[in-house]
A and B are shown apart, each in its own frame.
Chain A
């Protein structure tokens, strides 16, 4: 290895052992932790789902009590929405964005570390009390008055509300980081027009997160205030309004769907391009559709509230807006299909996941158009039709692309390929099992089966379809087990991949697999949105001049990505972990006493001061 490589390795390495584990600011190391934590929670949520499906497989089942069932779906939904879907997408962005930009790190490396520790705090906020027998039991959106002080004594609702604060602060920190990194750290030549669709997806999703998440933090803080200090935001007797909760919650909740879906679109764009062996068809329409979705997504929230009795004009407007968003989503799907149709597709496992995405997401989109119609929604709301729809959209629209992304970038992260044969088997079982599990739920919903019931009588006639659904869940679970086993075994025994096993189009394939601590010795210069394909046989254009001896990051201009400065980048630090611990104490304390906010702020201020205290020489006059 060259002296330069060794110098760069030393500059960008973490301290050894546990101290390095606690102080690292390497975005890939932190993102890997995020992904592994989210996958562990995905498995736990899946087990909860399997348990619930067994309970519903036949009428008159009493193996679960109503309370346990309530806790199970509340824990499943809250975990999946707040602790898996958003964080795992943020983590994928944290792992991939700097590599796709040819950068050694991100704009604010310590913010990533703070974000992970706080996310872990959110995970513990929900799951540690669960192991102690205190579990939220009102679903993933805990509407007042049911979640208010009168109907939910104890701390179940507080735990749910404060878990959200943890995870949303964590998500906001990553979003600001991702957005600034993409806007200000693109490699020379990567103008906004030449930015890969994946990066656009991550940028749009990050900006949407920044605008949407304050709503849920605000509304859950208001709920905690109602419960802790007797404010009346949601108590009609005190002049409050329960629907205010729903408005604020869904102002966040609907964009959240697209915050999860758009990174999926990013994965699909990258995978479709590489495996179709041609540049993405309709790069500009795909990007414009992302922007259109981002804008429309903030005008749709009322379609979650058609049944609460809003004025008819409002319902009509939101019906129209909800149907309108199918247009940009449809444009994207057509562009993906056109890319495959016009290219020379290689049907490896990642592309199979994308085909599964297209088929499943289209079905979810169609049932979405049905529920977007206010009169039909009045019949379907709170039935299994909605359960089917939301799983088709979220699993089909986000999880299948995520599984595809996992198989696509696995060799980059580990240096080894997952087995293609077992990949196809697991994909077939998961996709097949998913459809067997969830398609019958459309019919069950139309038959009138309400969601969130722990059992039903034989006279309802729902038993057969529920048994089919449970069978599908078992099949999907077998597929998921094979997927996990494939990933684990391939980590040690998989075929070595080299740097670029798929002949990928974007810059992450230009570096080693797995990437070294510094990722890129030189700054790549790009000419198009598929820079690896520009001159595949010729030498790669680069710039030099970033230091090997200290951590530096290249900052470029907003639109044209012209180099502007070599900004020093902070190294490992314990302060993000300490700050997260102090913040966690403040959050946990504040569900017991409002004074935790006051007294918790003092150590937090001290820690943040220590974190941001610049290390420069003392002033000469002061020393004298």
Chain B
């Protein structure tokens, strides 16, 4: 304040330095970026449906829908990863340093293991991106989701390295929660994509 006199109405010095969940700025930043990426997923899914409805056949004549097996393995694996993820969130909010260090390793490994069925899913799509618009949009959905999978795995790995080499403070527990929430976003965003990629061509 400049020239105007002030009177002190309250003191903020007793406030904590960080808070979890929606009280923290990082939680909202995370939510903002999830909204951006969620919108991109929605529009990419919309593009898939648009092309599906514009074409006479889906999949186009001469192409088969993607094989189901690796998609199912990946989806079940992704859903199962929510068990350790949920446990990790609980331990982070309880400020249990030891459990969080174990949990973050489990999540790093879980995400890494999911790369195996994901890689095999690409081999089972049945066509390349440059053979038909159906292939283009199929590969786009898969790549969009895989980029998120890799990004969150990278983030989890860095967090794991950090947590195992440094003293853990309140903000790092909040970071673990934010990272786990982002993993939930990766899980949830897959379900409609899974339905589009594997079931839309079968039900169309």
Contact = CB atoms under 8 A, between A and B. Distances in A.
A616 interface: yes
A539 interface: yes
B33 A567 contact: no
A361 B21 CA distance: 43
B36 interface: yes
B76 to A, nearest CB: 28
B28 A184 contact: yes
Interface stretch (A39-47, A267-275, A362-370, A518-526): A518-526
Contact of A567 (B17, B51, B167): B17
Interface stretch (A280-288, A312-320, A345-353, A555-563): A555-563
Contact of B50 (A213, A231, A244): A244
B136 A210 contact: no
B33 A238 contact: no
A517 to B, nearest CB: 15
A539 B13 CA distance: 22
A599 interface: no
B23 to A, nearest CB: 5
A146 interface: no
* Chain A contact residues, majority secondary structure: mixed
B192 interface: no
Contact of B1 (A188, A229, A510): A510
A183 B25 CA distance: 10
A226 B136 CA distance: 9
Nearest to A609: B158
A540 to B, nearest CB: 5
Interface in B31-89: 32-33, 35-37, 39-40, 43-44, 47, 50-51, 54-55, 60
A501 to B, nearest CB: 12
A184 B9 CA distance: 21
A431 B131 CA distance: 54
A225 B140 CA distance: 10
A239 B132 contact: yes
A590 to B, nearest CB: 13
B46 to A, nearest CB: 8
B126 interface: no
Given A108-B29, A545-B15, A618 B165 contact: yes
Contact of B29 (A107, A244, A568): A107
Contact of B4 (A111, A210, A540): A540
B195 interface: no
B159 to A, nearest CB: 10
B95 interface: no
Interface size class of B (residues with CB under 8 A): 35 or more
Interface string B159-178: 00010111111011001000
Nearest to A541: B9
Interface in A132-167: none
A149 to B, nearest CB: 11
A40 B98 CA distance: 55
Contacts of A544: 8, 10-13
Contacts of A613: 158, 162
A485 interface: no
Contacts of B18: 565, 567-568
Interface in A53-108: 107-108
A interface residue count range (under 10 / 10 to 19 / 20 to 34 / 35 or more): 35 or more
A230 B133 CA distance: 10
A193 interface: no
Interface stretch (A13-21, A121-129, A214-222): A214-222
Interface in B118-172: 129-137, 139-140, 154, 158, 162, 164-169, 171-172
A235 interface: yes
A564 interface: yes
Interface string A379-391: 0000000000000
A540 B3 CA distance: 10
A512 B40 CA distance: 42
A394 to B, nearest CB: 24
Interface in A566-618: 566-568, 605, 609, 612-614, 616-618
Nearest to A213: B36
A311 to B, nearest CB: 13
Contacts of B166: 614, 616-619, 622
B24 A614 contact: no
Contact of B32 (A179, A235, A554): A179
A511 B2 contact: yes
A616 B172 contact: yes
Name the residue in B2, B15, B158 with the highest tally of chain A Cβ atoms < 10 Å from its Cβ: B2
Contacts of B158: 609, 612-613
B172 A188 contact: no
Contacts of A530: none
Given A225-B136, A521-B1, A565-B15, A619 B167 contact: yes
A62 to B, nearest CB: 42
Given A215-B39, A544-B13, A619-B165, 9 more contacts: A107-B28, A218-B47, A233-B47, A240-B51, A499-B3, A521-B1, A542-B8, A568-B17, A612-B158
16 contacts: A184-B28, A231-B139, A238-B132, A244-B50, A244-B54, A251-B43, A520-B1, A539-B5, A540-B4, A540-B6, A544-B8, A544-B13, A565-B15, A565-B19, A568-B18, A618-B166
Interface of B: 1-19, 22-25, 28-29, 32-33, 35-37, 39-40, 43-44, 47, 50-51, 54-55, 60, 129-137, 139-140, 154, 158, 162, 164-169, 171-172, 175
7 A-B pairs with least C-beta separation:
A545-B12, A545-B13, A231-B136, A176-B32, A239-B133, A240-B133, A214-B40
